[in-house]
Amino acid sequence: MSIKLCRVCNKPLHESQRLTHNGIKIKSCPKCSTLNGKEHVYYEEHVFGFTDERITHNNTDGIQSYCAPCRSDKLNTIHGIMCNQI
């Protein structure tokens, strides 16, 4: 199985990316990005949620890995920001 890379930033689609876009903190959802199959799909960080149980040295604020719709298996109706829009 080969790792799919984002056609824009060349980073693995299954790995979350975090950055600031237009002054807003955003994060890619690994599941949405993998389902897209071509590039990272970003959302504002509040879409992911935070929990103390996820706080680690690498995740100091405890942000969830997947966006809330992916964690609940509900249809994602949130408009994401594509990697090529950043």
Q: Where are the domains of the chain?
A: 18-85
Q: What percent of the chain has pLDDT over 70?
A: 97
Q: Over the stretch 22-48, which tens digit does the pLDDT of each residue have?
A: 999 999 999 999 999 999 999 999 999
Can you give the pLDDT at residue 5?
A: 98
Tell me the CA distances in angstroms from 22 to 19, 39, 61, 77, 79, one per residue in order: 10, 19, 21, 22, 16
Largest alpha-carbon pair distance within the chain? 37
What is the spatial order of strands in the sheet that 18-21 belongs to?
A: 18-21, 24-28, 41-44, 81-82
